[in-house]
Amino acid sequence: MCCRCCSQTQQKIWVFGISTMFLICGLLGVLWWPDFVERATFRMLPLKPGGRTYEFWTVPPVPVYLAMYLYNWTNPEQVRVKGVKPNFERVGPYVFREDKVKNNITWYANNTVSFMPQRTWYFEPSMSGGTLEDNVTCPHLPTIAASHMARDFPKLIKIFFNMALNSNGGSLYQTHTANEWIFQGFYDEFLDYAMKLNNSMTGNIKDNHFAWLLNRNGSKDFEGLFTINTGVEDLREMGELKFWNGKNHTGFFEGECGRLNGSTADLFVPNRGPEEWITIYMKDTCRIINLEPSGTEVIEGIEAIRYETKPDTYDSGELNPDMKCYCPPELQPNNCPKHGVTDIRTCSEGAPMFMSHPGFLYADPMYANTTTGTKADPAKDVFYITMEPKLGVPLDVNAAIQISLFIEADRDITLLKGLPSFYAPLFTINSIAKITPEIASQVRLALNLPSIGFYVGIGLLSCGCFVLAAGFYVCLTKKWYEPIEDERTIIPDKQ
């Protein structure tokens, strides 16, 4: 009907105009749209007040859970029998949903921002493998820590120390509920005694209650003040840690091993190469942790790279000479820990504590062989982050860390007399997160927008070529419609 109203010139304008419009839009979709969308996406990624990244950074949309395993010491009374090894059974997990907010957010002109993380945990019974009322027997850390400090005291002083330990609540082990061990805490007689002394021998004891995460739940200042790069000037620095409590060195380890770098695990550098490592710093680990690419996975339809810790992650120079600085100075050069554990006495107030993979995965067998009852499970005890590298979005996280206590015999201290030397596992912390289908759909859309525009452009180019070809065909065959003047005249009905 349109052609019946148009002249041949008008028909040609319509046909070749529409084909030209299709061709121009198609060329824009193929040649310009992918780069435009990619540039626009990367412009949205830097951390800015009110931006999309800021929204996700302040209130993480992906649920995070803390899964804690405790180690129940089943035979503490038999360990002095020759040939009997301490037996520890992994119990749990005790799973807590984590709510994380950032307080005291302050922006600086040099494209950095500082904040203080606050984490609050809520118990999730349906996801847990036990109740918070489970009774668990663990080594008594205050006793072991104090005895370790007194090991090199003169004989006479150790005699008085032993008397004080025996008469003021010292013990090799204690039994409490899981809740008391993890968050709630319990009154400790020996800590109360040491707190009242408050001298160089006992250290600065601030509380007469004890728990692995005492006063941690909901604390606004426990983790300290972090300063990171916003990525506004250089996207390759987005999320990179610059200072912790105003310093660029932790002070826990010497040299490069104490230098701050990497991510706080809140933001990751986008457009990451397939061979690049991930470096993260968590206050609880007292050090950076490197994760290497180990393969690819598809999660919720998104192609991602899996990054894992390796056998030399917790090394002190045995496997990698560059990591010698993780060995405490007083143990160098010949008494450094064998590979697989990090001596963290420098950040545990002198207590002989060690960090490793759960079950001493990847570690020298001598650590696990000092006890029985628990074996490493490579499927769940590895520390990994599966990440979409282009946008730097974590899709699946399992940050698994074990803390152990070294207990050794001391003939001058009654509680430690006749014991074998062993590495007692205390607890394992797994920080778990997995992207939800709703967030995954947004990530897929952001990743697919360039391709969507490209293929729409191909379609428009095809339509434009088809209409253009049809126009040329009609021109060559001279089959344009010839409007008849009478068709434009309305003839009234005859009466």
pLDDT tens by residue, 62-108: 899 999 999 999 999 999 888 899 999 999 899 999 999 999 999 99
Q: Who has greater pLDDT, 189 or 442?
A: 189
Query: Which two structure tokens, joined as six digits, stand for 214?
Result: 């005492």
Can you tell me the mean pLDDT for 29-53? 78
Which residue in 147, 72, 188, 65 sits closest to 426, CA to CA?
72
Among the ranges given (90-104, 274-288, 349-363, 477-491), the one the predictor scored with the smallest mean pLDDT: 477-491
Which pLDDT score, from 0 to 100, does residue 105 have? 94
Q: Do 229 and 196 fall within a single domain? A: yes
Residues 44 and 134 in one domain: no
Alpha carbon distance 22, 27 (integer Å): 8
The angle subtended at Cα 435 by Cα 301 and Cα 96, nearest 5°, is 150
> What totals of helices (H) and strands (E) does the chain contain, helices first?
10, 17
* Predicted confidence band of residue 36 (pLDDT cuts 50, 70, 90): confident
Statement to judge: residues 26 and 170 lie in one domain: no
In a domain, 494, yes or no: no
Q: Between 1 and 242, where is the model more confident?
A: 242
Alpha carbon distance 383, 400 (integer Å):
5
Q: Rounded to an integer, what distance in angstroms lies between the CA atom of residue 229 and that of residue 46?
A: 9
Spatial CA neighbour of 149 closest among 416, 431, 480: 416
Residue 303 lies in a domain: yes
Residues 5 and 77 occupy one common structural domain: no
The owner of tokens 């409490």 is 176
Amino acid 491: pLDDT: 45
Q: Give the residue ranges of DSSP H helices in 45-188.
A: 52-58, 141-150, 155-167, 178-179
Asked if residue 229 and residue 86 are part of one domain, the reply reads: yes
Number of other residues whose CB lies within 10 A of the CB of residue 275:
8
Helix axes 437-477, 8-27, angle to 10 degrees: 150
17/118 same-domain check: no
Residues 385 and 466 in one domain: no
Tell which residue, 28, 53, 48, has the closest CA to residue 446: 53
In a domain, 379, yes or no: yes
Give the domain extent around 210.
Answer: 63-435
Residue among 286, 280, 214, 213 nearest 253 (CA): 286
Residue 10's pLDDT is 63
More confident residue, 410 or 467: 410
- 360, 467: one domain: no
Question: Per the domain annotation, does 310 fall within a domain?
Answer: yes
Task: Please check whether residues 29 and 121 belong to one and the same domain.
Answer: no
pLDDT (tens digit, 9 = 90+) per residue, 126-146?
999 999 999 999 999 999 999
> Can you say how many angstroms the Cα of residue 448 is from the centroid of all Cα atoms in its chain?
26
Q: Is residue 312 included in any domain, yes or no?
A: yes
Bridge partners, 423 (sequence order): 406
495 domain residue, yes or no: no
* Mean pLDDT in residue range 456-463: 70
Q: Does any domain span residue 441?
A: no
Residue 478 has pLDDT above 70, yes or no: no
Would 443 be classed as within a structural domain? Answer: no
User: How many of the other CB atoms lie within 10 Å of CB of 328?
Assistant: 18
Mean pLDDT value across the chain: 86
pLDDT number for residue 19: 67
Residues 41, 187: one domain?
Answer: no
In a shared domain, residues 49 and 126: no
Q: What is the pLDDT of residue 66?
A: 95
Of 443 and 306, the structure prediction assigns the larger pLDDT to 306
Residue with tokens 């990054």: 307
CB-based contact 113:105 (threshold 8 Å):
yes
Domain count, the chain: 2
Contact 168, 189 (CB under 8 A): yes
Q: Which two tokens stand for residue 238?
A: 């987005």
Phi-psi region of 239 (alpha: psi -120 to 50; beta: other; left: phi over 0): left
Phi-psi region of 295 (alpha: psi -120 to 50; beta: other; left: phi over 0): left
Radius of gyration of the chain (CA): 33
Domain match, 144 and 225 both: yes
In 3D space, the residue among 391, 45, 390, 106 whose CA is nearest the CA of residue 231 turns out to be 45
Report the distance separating Cα 205 and Cα 223, nearest Å. Answer: 19
